[in-house]
């Protein structure tokens, strides 16, 4: 598509699909033309939950909302979480090390980010299972784009749960993110309840499956390329660039949506105003105009300006946290299981989605 139809109009759905790096970067960052406002419910039942969240907001409101949470996600604030993430990772790995085999998605890549984000938001530990179930349901909705009775029921339950938690924190504030958001003011105004709900739902989804997939995709890349694990065991400095290369090569988020609010010219194509646009991050990250040998997983790539965390004002708020979790999880995994290989019977299946990219299971 990058070569023959870099800007493709799907006449059946009306959507425009953008595949080249420069175009994807423009679509993600030129908010005056490509709006993040998707407008209300998308038919899946979860639209209302996200309708007032950061990710579907344009400036000036976007900047105001984002400024309320940036402090919690700066590299410095996130670094302070290192001992807790390390401790959690060690706990999760103990059982795996004793047994010598595991489904790494289920036993490490999945629980780690869920527990970390639950703790940041002050979700009581006993509610974590329910929280995990709801976040799965929301993600499966965003994957399939269609809703079932289960989706509607889960959306109602999540909304009620967060409303009760918000009420509780209002009367007994803590140090968690929900309490921070409750006390925050923009121009003397508190956040509205839909905005508070939007934050909760967004953090629940954004912090969850994406990081799971980064860790899972990393293990897949490492076990596929002989010699990489051995090098990582002796060269600690190689881990951060390896994670960046996983983000480029197997991007956990493959596509993001925008809506044109004015006519836009991309190369020879003109996209009219009011059109849905899909920016293919996964394709941009393999654009031969930007990356040499893009189809090769190369940890020695050097400069790696991938778009896996987006670009511009909506650049992923959780990027420092996702990178830290991946770094700690992979370092601990390799030092405890240096002979890591895929289980011989492993049948690797990708999740069915055009948005998120990851494996259903990863038996090692
Ligand atoms: C935004 C990817 C982890 C919170 C984004 C965007 C991408 C992305 C591509 C841009 C969306 C857009 O342009 O519309 C990822 C990937 C992750 C990850 C690949 C893991 C490997 C996280 C984590 C958190 C998080 C751990 C929080 C705990 C957010 C938020 C936004 C966002 C709040 C919206 C920012 C805004 O609209 O200003 N993420 N993300 N993400 N991400 Fe992440």
Q: What is the interface pTM, i.e. ipTM, of the complex? A: 0.99
Nearest atom of ligand 1 to the alpha carbon of 326: 21
**Structural domain count, the chain:** 1
Q: Measure the CA–CA gap between 299 and 243, rounded to whole angstroms.
A: 8
Structural domain includes residue 268: yes
Domain limits at 203? 7-336
Structural domain includes residue 22: yes
CATH code for position 135: 1.10.630.10
In this structure, the residues whose C-beta lies within 6 A of any atom of ligand 1 are 28, 36, 54-55, 66, 117, 202-203, 206-207, 210-211, 214, 252-253, 256, 308-310, 314, 316-318, 321-322
**pLDDT digit string, tens, across residues 193-202:** 988 998 888 8
Structural domain includes residue 351: no
Beta bridge partners of 256: 279
**SS3 of 28, please?**
helix
Structural domain includes residue 360: no
**Residues in Cβ contact with 16 at an 8 Å cutoff, skipping those fewer than 6 apart:** 7, 8, 9, 10, 269, 271, 275, 276, 277, 278
> Are 250 and 306 contacting, i.e. CB atoms less than 8 angstroms apart?
no
In the chain, helix, strand, coil percent, each to 5? Answer: 55, 10, 35
**pLDDT digit string, tens, across residues 249-260:** 999 999 999 999
Mean pLDDT of 118-130: 87
What six digits make up the tokens of 98? 């004793």
Question: Is pLDDT larger for residue 276 or for residue 152?
Answer: 276
Residue nearest to atom 2 of ligand 1 (CA): 309
**Residues in Cβ contact with 106 at an 8 Å cutoff, skipping those fewer than 6 apart:** 361
Cα–ligand 1 centroid distance for 258 (angstroms): 15
At residue 342, does pLDDT exceed 70?
yes
CB atoms within 10 A of CB 260: 19
Q: Measure the CA–CA gap between 226 and 229, rounded to whole angstroms.
A: 7
DSSP string, 113-168: HHHHHHHHHT--GGGHHHHHHHHHHHHHHHHH----HHHHHHHHHHHHHHHHHHHH
> Are 46 and 151 contacting, i.e. CB atoms less than 8 angstroms apart?
yes
Structural domain includes residue 2: no
Confidence label for 332 from pLDDT (cuts 50, 70 and 90) = very high
> Are 166 and 182 contacting, i.e. CB atoms less than 8 angstroms apart?
yes
Structural domain includes residue 356: no
DSSP state of 189: E
> Are 182 and 195 contacting, i.e. CB atoms less than 8 angstroms apart?
no
Cα–ligand 1 centroid distance for 203 (angstroms): 9
Structural domain includes residue 357: no
Q: What is the mean pLDDT of the chain?
A: 90
Structural domain includes residue 354: no
């Amino acid at each position: 598509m990058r070569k023959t139809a870099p800007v493709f109009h799907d006449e059946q759905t009306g959507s425009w699909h953008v595949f080249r790096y420069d175009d994807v970067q423009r679509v993600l960052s030129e908010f005056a033309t490509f709006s993040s406002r998707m407008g209300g419910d998308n038919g899946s039942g979860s639209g209302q939950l996200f309708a007032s969240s950061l990710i579907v907001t344009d400036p000036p409101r976007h900047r105001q909302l984002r400024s309320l949470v940036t402090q919690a996600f700066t590299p410095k604030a996130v670094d302070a979480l290192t001992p807790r993430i390390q401790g959690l990772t060690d706990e999760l790995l103990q059982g795996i090390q004793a047994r010598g085999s595991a489904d790494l998605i289920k036993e490490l890549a999945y629980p780690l980010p869920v527990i970390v984000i639950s703790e940041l938001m002050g979700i009581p530990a006993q509610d974590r299972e329910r929280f995990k179930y709801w976040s799965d349901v929301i993600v499966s909705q965003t994957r399939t784009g269609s809703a079932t009775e289960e989706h509607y029921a889960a959306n109602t339950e999540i909304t009620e749960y967060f409303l009760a938690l918000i009420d509780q924190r209002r009367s007994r504030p803590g140090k968690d993110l929900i309490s921070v958001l409750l006390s925050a003011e923009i121009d003397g105004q508190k956040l509205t309840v839909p905005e508070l709900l939007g934050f909760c739902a967004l953090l629940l989804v954004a912090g969850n499956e994406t990081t799971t997939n980064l860790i899972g995709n990393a293990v897949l890349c490492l076990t596929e390329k002989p010699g990489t694990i051995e090098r990582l065991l002796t060269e600690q400095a190689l881990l951060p660039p390896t994670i960046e290369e996983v983000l480029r090569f197997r991007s956990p988020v493959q596509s993001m949506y925008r809506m044109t609010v004015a006519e836009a010219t991309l190369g020879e194509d003109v996209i009219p105003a009011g059109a849905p646009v899909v920016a293919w991050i996964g394709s941009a990250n393999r654009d031969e105009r930007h990356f040499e040998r893009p189809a090769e997983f190369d940890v020695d790539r050097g400069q790696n300006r991938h778009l896996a965390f987006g670009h511009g004002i909506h650049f992923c708020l959780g990027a420092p946290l996702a990178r830290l979790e991946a770094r700690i999880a992979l370092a601990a995994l390799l030092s405890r299981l240096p002979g890591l290989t895929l289980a011989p019977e492993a049948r690797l299946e990708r999740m069915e989605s055009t948005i998120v990219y990851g494996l259903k299971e990863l038996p090692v």
